[in-house]
Amino acid sequence: MPRISNKGISMPESPIRKLVPFAEKAKKKGKKVYHLNIGQPDIRTPEVALEAIHNFSDKVVEYSHSAGFESYRIGLAKYYQNLGIDIVHEDLMVTTGGSEALLFALNSCLDAGDEIIIPEPFYANYNGFSISSGVTVKPITTSINDGFTLPLIEEFEKLITPNTKAILICNPGNPTGYLYSKEELERLRDVVVKHDLFLISDEVYREFVYDGNDHHSVLSIEGLDENAIVIDSTSKRYSMCGIRVGCVVSKNKTVISTALKFAQARLSPPTFGQIAGEAALKTESSYFEKVSAEYVSRRDVLIEGLNAIEGVICPKPKGAFYAIAQLPVNDADKFAQWLLEDFDLDGETIMVAPASGFYSTPNIGINQVRIAYVLNKESLQTSIKILEAALKVYPGSVL
């Protein structure tokens, strides 16, 4: 029998999706499942984007340029310029979602066997992208006890070897909701410039920053022109995850020209996604104001409710729409499965994402879960009641 590749064997399952079969069985049994496991917002996609797809009248759906429609890239450059980021459209390339943008960045900047440092917990697919690129992840652990703040730069320096080529951050963060300050980004700048590294920043949640805080892009930090690479996406910004359009942005011309070679190998990004993405640039600022206000109210309901449960610890996120909660259980993976298989409250249960899959270091985060507050407030309140009731009867509870 032919042997599967080592890459395939090493490829991790998604902690976000691996419990889907159990959720499907629960639903077949008649249970209602509240999905707190996945960042699929219920926010309406901007009408201007949907109308652009409906109004498509070309008789042939053609390839675009491998870098994406020029008109879209020019529009994206103006979007960044309005944020105070000084780039031109040649500094960016349209991709099939933020996922492809990250894959192109990794393959353009790192060789097989090279190392990338990532603060953990981090978006679980960073592990998968790194494995498929032949790159070794060097995690640097952050703590729930201080809200997942950036570790000391000295801790980064301890991990740097001759094989280290990049540091990757998510700002604001998935799964923690942590927001990096300008000072923290400047500290990262100093270390990447000192050691001649790339600083890759996943900024797909840029629009969702709360409590009067400001988002600072690595592209706006002085002295990073040759080091900074931004990963971006339309998915969460405009609540159109299925459009599958993102981009990679860098003032480093060699990075973009190299990424274009990978883009040419996959031909072109999706036509309808680009049509929707370009139209979405016309979205009124009031849309984001309303969406951000809604996420803040959902966040406050969730965080207040979670921290009111005995034994639960959950820092208040500053951005995005995720939170990591520490539960009084001995194994969050088993607890999450138990919730779907063996528990319900009046015929209802919840689906959460075990947080161990968001860590690269073994045996960390085993009593934590990631919760996405993408459901309406009523559903979140019900979910909190279900969680509280479940913890009181769960056999693996440590209360």
pLDDT tens, position by position, 353-392: 999 999 999 999 999 999 999 999 999 999 999 999 999 9
pLDDT for the residue 18? 79
The pair of structure tokens assigned to 43 is: 């926010």
Summarised one tens digit per residue, pLDDT across range 344-357 is 999 999 999 999 99
Residue 397: band (very low, low, confident or very high) from pLDDT cuts 50, 70, 90: confident
Residue corresponding to tokens 């981090």: 122
> Is the residue at 158 inside a domain?
yes
Domain match, 96 and 245 both: yes
Domain match, 245 and 206 both: yes
d(CA 345, CA 101): 42
Residue numbers of the domain that contains 242: 56-280
Domain match, 214 and 291 both: no
Are 333 and 366 within 8 A, CB to CB?
yes
Residue 81 φ then ψ, to 5°: -60, -40
d(CA 290, CA 293): 5
Least confident window among 36-40, 65-69, 310-314? 36-40
d(CA 336, CA 20): 11
pLDDT for the residue 16? 67
pLDDT for the residue 316? 97
What mean pLDDT do residues 60-86 have? 96
Domain CATH for 75: 3.40.640.10
Average pLDDT, the chain: 95
pLDDT for the residue 4? 83
User: What is the DSSP-derived secondary structure letter of residue 113?
Assistant: T
For the chain, give the percent of residues with pLDDT over 90.
91
**How far is residue 106 from each of residues 4, 18, 115, 229, measured CA to CA in Å?**
23, 25, 10, 10
> Is the residue at 110 inside a domain?
yes
Domain match, 192 and 323 both: no
Domain match, 238 and 266 both: yes
Q: In the chain, how many domains are there?
A: 2
d(CA 399, CA 394): 10
Of the residues 224, 247, 280, the one at which a domain ends: 280
d(CA 211, CA 21): 38
Domain match, 136 and 256 both: yes
pTM (2 decimals)? 0.94
Of the residues 280, 314, 345, the one at which a domain ends: 280
pLDDT for the residue 310? 96
Domain match, 159 and 201 both: yes
3-state secondary structure at position 72: helix
Domain match, 67 and 199 both: yes
